[in-house]
Amino acid sequence: MSALESGRRRPARERLLAAAARRFYADGVAATGIDTITAEAGVAKMSLYNNFSSKADLVRAYLDARHEEWLGLYRARLESADGPREGVLAVFDAYADHAAFAYEHGFRGCGLLNAAAELPAGDEGRAVVRAHKEQVEHLIVGHLEQLLPGRPDKARATAEHLSFLLEGAMARAGLEGDGERLQHARSMAAVLLDRL
């Protein structure tokens, strides 16, 4: 069975999400039309509307899938983390793992933030991205609370600092087209953690 035949046996929803993920990341949400997605997925336009109520619904599903994809990378890194310090660094490693994916047109930074930048204020998709970023910071807080028992204010302040470091590194990595900035940010985070 060819790869094309194998791909066509996957449910239409799965193929549509995979095609949307490739096109939204490579070309942007606004520049990617429904016809492009359905053609790449190998489905009729009606299949899209049988699975998603609108393009906005497809965008939200894409954002949810990106979030789950990142959580999977984080959980995999966390499995080998030895203690809360390494747990914090697992967050940075998960972002670096994402940057290392083989993207069709190269690494363009955080797919969630890229999409959010295109969505109007108040769009539900922006809320999905915000929730992801808040969850990432909350994960860092959890590790830091273990590292700094009895100092929750210090843990939250340090988590915010590390979140800003991570987001800045992702923005620069996206502009530069590789994950080197993420490695630098991880090193800076390790130094900061050693000083706590």
| Range with lowest mean pLDDT among 8-12, 87-91, 113-117, 144-148 | 8-12
pTM for this entry:
0.90
pLDDT tens digits, residue range 109-145? Answer: 999 999 999 999 999 999 999 999 999 999 999 999 9
Where do the domains of the chain lie, and which CATH numbers do they carry?
9-52 (1.10.10.60), 55-194 (1.10.357.10)
Q: 53: exposed, middle or buried (C-beta count within 10 Å: 0-12, 13-18, 19+)?
A: exposed
